[in-house]
Amino acid sequence: MKKCVACGMPMKEPQDFALGDTRKAYCRYCVNEDGSMRSFEEKKADLERLLIRTQGISQGRAAIAVRSLMKELPAWQNYFRE
């Protein structure tokens, strides 16, 4: 099973993929309206907002959690190179 390279979500059905295109490596939550993948900064902000909303944690804690999540995902490896 494929996983989204940008957020780690499992993609099982065509509608889980960006634009319903199963050749895409990223999911429908990680795509812009023009079909491109959301940028590092956009995705980071998306995920922080999601965590704050769903887990009720502070901005600071969300930022730390999102950093460690994104560090494990193939799409963002360049951003974490020392």
Binding residues vs Zn ion (CB under 5 A): 4, 6-7, 9, 27, 29-30
For Zn ion, give the closer residue by CB, 27 or 70: 27
State the first-to-last Cα distance of the chain, in angstroms, to the nearest integer: 31
46: three-class secondary structure by DSSP: helix
- Minimum CB separation of residue 82 from Zn ion in Å reads 25
Q: Which two tokens stand for residue 4?
A: 């989204």
Q: Please name the residue that has the structure tokens 């993929």.
A: 17
For Zn ion, give the closer residue by CB, 4 or 62: 4
For Zn ion, give the closer residue by CB, 7 or 70: 7
